[in-house]
Amino acid sequence: MKIAVCISQVPDTESNITISTDSKNLDLDELDYIINPYDEYALEEALKTKEIFNGEVIVISAGADKNKDALKKALAIGANKAVHLKTNESFDSLNLAKLLYEEIKTHQPVLVFFGKQSADYSNSVTGQITAQLLNYNLLSNVSNLEISENRIIAEREIDGWKEKVSTTFPAVITAEKGLNTPRYPSLKGIMTAKKKPFIEKVIENTLNCTERIELKRPKNKSAGKVAVNSDEGINGLISFLQNEVKIL
Amino acid sequence: MNNNFIVFLEQTDGKITKSSYEVLGAALDLSYKLNCSVEAIVIGKNFVFDESLRLKNLLKITHCKTSNKYLAPSEYANIISGHYSDLVNKDIFFANSSLGKDIAASLAARLDTGIITDCIELSIEEDSIIAVRPIFSGKILDKLKLKGESRIFNLRANNFSPPNKFGDKTEIIIKIIDSFISDFQLLEIIKASGKVDISEAEIIVSGGRGLKDTSNFSLIEELSKILNGAVGASRAVVDAGWRPHYEQIGQTGKTVSPNVYIAVGISGAIQHLAGMNSSKYIVAINKDADAPIFKIADYGIVGDALEILPKLIAELKSLKLKGI
Ligand SMILES: Cc1cc2nc3c(=O)[nH]c(=O)nc-3n(C[C@H](O)[C@H](O)[C@H](O)COP(=O)(O)OP(=O)(O)OC[C@H]3O[C@@H](n4cnc5c(N)ncnc54)[C@H](O)[C@@H]3O)c2cc1C
Ligand SMILES: Nc1ncnc2c1ncn2[C@@H]1O[C@H](COP(=O)(O)O)[C@@H](O)[C@H]1O
């Protein structure tokens, strides 16, 4: 079974991100980067599936040189092959999906895993767009997966509930938290990763559908009233809900 | 009047969801400014039309009546692109719900159209639609516009006003969709306990590790019920197995913007704030006066949640009895 996993490298959530003086760019150097948390679930599920059905797991990441680290880690964890689509440009979700689609289709995988959402741009649609470009069945926000020879059964987390659906191959799955517990790279994994195929493709002139006008910070919420006496606080809260929020 | 808008109205049990009613409101607002017209489409077995859908500038609502019990997102997209032959020069608006994003993504791929998800603000500058969306867990706002002949937008719940200009020209059309063979099969629906959908809720009462034990969440449930809200949770209590994951708020959970967010026994870690810091009002109850949640709270009480909640619930109940 051939499986592809798309992963991205994102700044650690604790990072302080600064906006450039022209308000059009972000200062993203010098930050600590991690594999996007949801992509760890995606990778783990791909590896688990490979262990049952045999085959290979190909990890793909598009972006600057920092993305190499995510791919190397994925190889150390157990992926068989990595493809780095190298570019310094950033792209909107449609053009990112097109780029990933061009690469994925050359491998003809029966399953493609994505994270449900990236921690940086959080478009939450890259997997879905790619599914349509590939013309694969889509299962988004999957928190539980059962795969058999010819069917996939998935639990999907919808807005306030869950549904259990089944579909056929080939399919794109976007991973939700709870799907599994990602493993760590072992020492042996780190050693063998160096011998695994690592393909780099330089991408030029990516198109972009969006034009950035400005980056800004959200209005800073200033701290409001804090009551230290419980009884006063309860009365204060009730009048706050009545007079300011106006919900009572 | 060119550049027409299409709004996808999501429904549950035949009723338009609150968030897609807001999407309709936002699209109509833009249409008044750009002097263009709006059409809406509803897909499903049932759809109950009511007068709140007769609106100024809303030309027509097409109800695509399907006999298939379950539709996959790509099947919704098939119906939409089958119905409108000229989608390539329209702007299409969806809710930022799970289904809304899946369908919007499918259409973006088919039409080769740019898409902006999770919009919290839309405006017009020089005849173009400008969107604002939060990035990097809400730390930065990205203001941008889409190039091209058509555009797709997904709008975050609770950030746009419902329609307010009523009209009498809205036409209702029913189109029967023949049943088709699907690759997808629905096996089961697992519903959340509460009545109110958390991503649309006006009020969310959220509990964290400060509640000490899973059983104390009955206090959170009771408070949310009195306020007609939904229950939320921090990751710590979801990981502990006290609450289901669909209640988790934050970076690896849901992003919500209710009118009021009440955080009880939640420290206010950056990953939690990422999911709720765009709430209109934030209330915090925490026994530690230095907890970071107080930095963004509009109203805070320092104290033991297990003492405060029962008293607060009793007060609110007696207010209700008095009919206030
Ligand atoms: C990659 C990543 C993603 C994450 N995603 C999320 C996410 O989506 N959502 C999320 O919530 N977290 C997330 N986290 C975890 C986050 O960092 C925090 O660990 C978590 O939010 C803490 O939950 P808590 O506030 O319930 O618990 P704690 O931090 O333990 O806070 C408990 C609070 O309760 C107070 N308290 C204790 N007893 C009482 C009492 N009797 N009465 C009143 N107050 C009391 C304490 O003073 C304290 O402030 C993520 C972390 C990482 C690394
Ligand atoms: N630069 C990238 N390279 C490869 N995959 C990506 C990239 N960015 C996002 N993805 C994938 O798309 C998913 C959703 O991202 P997004 O649509 O940005 O929220 C992520 O969880 C990844 O699986």
pLDDT of residue B322: 76
> For residues A11 and A34, what is the distance between their CA atoms, to the nearest angstrom?
6
pLDDT of residue B3: 60
Q: Do B308 and A247 touch (CB under 8 A)?
A: no
Cα–Cα nearest to A94, from B152, B312, B273: B152
Q: Do A237 and B299 touch (CB under 8 A)?
A: yes
pLDDT digits (tens, 9 = 90+) for A122-140: 999 999 999 999 999 999 9
Strands annotated E in B120-259: 121-125, 128-135, 140-146, 151-155, 171-177, 185-190, 203-207, 230-233
pLDDT digits (tens, 9 = 90+) for A75-94: 999 999 999 999 988 889 99
Full set of structural domains in chain B with CATH: 4-177 (3.40.50.620), 203-321 (3.40.50.1220)
Helix (H) or strand (E) holding B23: helix B18-34
Q: Ligand 2 centre and the CA of B239: distance in Å?
A: 25
Ligand 2, pocket residues at CB < 6 Å: A 6-8, 36, 38-39, 42, 60-63, 93, 96, 100, 114-115, 117-118, 121-127
Chains A and B: how many Cβ contacts under 8 Å? Answer: 271
AA letter at B147: K
Which residues from B are below 8 Å from A34, CB to CB?
none
pLDDT of residue B2: 52
Phi-psi region of A44 (alpha: psi -120 to 50; beta: other; left: phi over 0): alpha
For residue A233, the ligand closest to its alpha carbon is 1
> How far does A164 lie from chain B, in Å, by closest CA?
5
pLDDT at B324 over 70: no
> Does the N-terminal peptide bond of residue A170 adopt cis geometry, omega within 30 degrees of 0?
yes
> For residues B175 and B63, what is the distance between their CA atoms, to the nearest angstrom?
6
Q: Where are the domains of chain A?
A: 2-202, 221-248
Q: What is the ipTM of this complex?
A: 0.93
Q: At B170, is the secondary structure helix, strand, or coil?
A: coil
pLDDT digits (tens, 9 = 90+) for A175-209: 999 899 999 999 999 999 999 999 999 998 778 89
| DSSP classification of residue B137 | T
Q: What number does the ligand 1 atom closest to the CA of B268 have?
A: 25
pLDDT digits (tens, 9 = 90+) for A213-239: 999 998 877 778 999 988 999 999 999
Mean of per-residue pLDDT scores for chain B: 94
Q: Which of A94, A167, A208 sits opposite B184 (nearest CB)?
A: A167
Q: Whose CA is nearest to atom 23 of ligand 2?
A: A114
Which residues from B are below 8 Å from A225, CB to CB?
298-300
Q: Which neighbouring-strand residues pair with B16?
A: B11
Q: Domain A2-202 belongs to what architecture?
A: 3-Layer(aba) Sandwich (3.40)
Average pLDDT of the residues in B126-133: 95
Which residues from A are below 8 Å from B147, CB to CB?
208-211
Q: Do A137 and B184 touch (CB under 8 A)?
A: yes
More confident residue, B100 or B137: B100
Structure-block tokens of residue B200:
């649309």
Average pLDDT of the residues in B194-214: 91
Q: Do B190 and A129 touch (CB under 8 A)?
A: no
> Are residues B68 and B182 in contact, defined by beta-carbon separation less than 8 angstroms?
yes
Q: Ligand 1 centre and the CA of B236: distance in Å?
A: 5
Average pLDDT of the residues in B4-14: 94
> Are residues B248 and B267 in contact, defined by beta-carbon separation less than 8 angstroms?
no
| A74-77, long-range: CB < 8 A, 24+ apart | A74/A5, A74/A7, A74/A35, A74/A43, A75/A189, A75/A193, A75/A196, A75/A198, A76/A185, A76/A186, A76/A189, A76/A190, A76/A193, A77/A43, A77/A44, A77/A47, A77/A182, A77/A183, A77/A184, A77/A185, A77/A189
pLDDT at B252 over 50: yes
Phi, psi dihedrals of residue B192, rounded to the nearest 5°: -75, 160
- Angle value at C-alpha A11, between A9 and A13, nearest 5 degrees: 125
pLDDT at B193 over 70: no
> For residues A179 and A185, what is the distance between their CA atoms, to the nearest angstrom?
19
Mean of per-residue pLDDT scores for chain A: 94
Q: At B108, is the secondary structure helix, strand, or coil?
A: helix
Helix (H) or strand (E) holding B111: helix B98-111
pLDDT of residue B195: 67
pTM exceeds 0.90 for this model? yes
pLDDT of residue B1: 40
> For residues A74 and A5, what is the distance between their CA atoms, to the nearest angstrom?
10
pLDDT of residue A55: 94
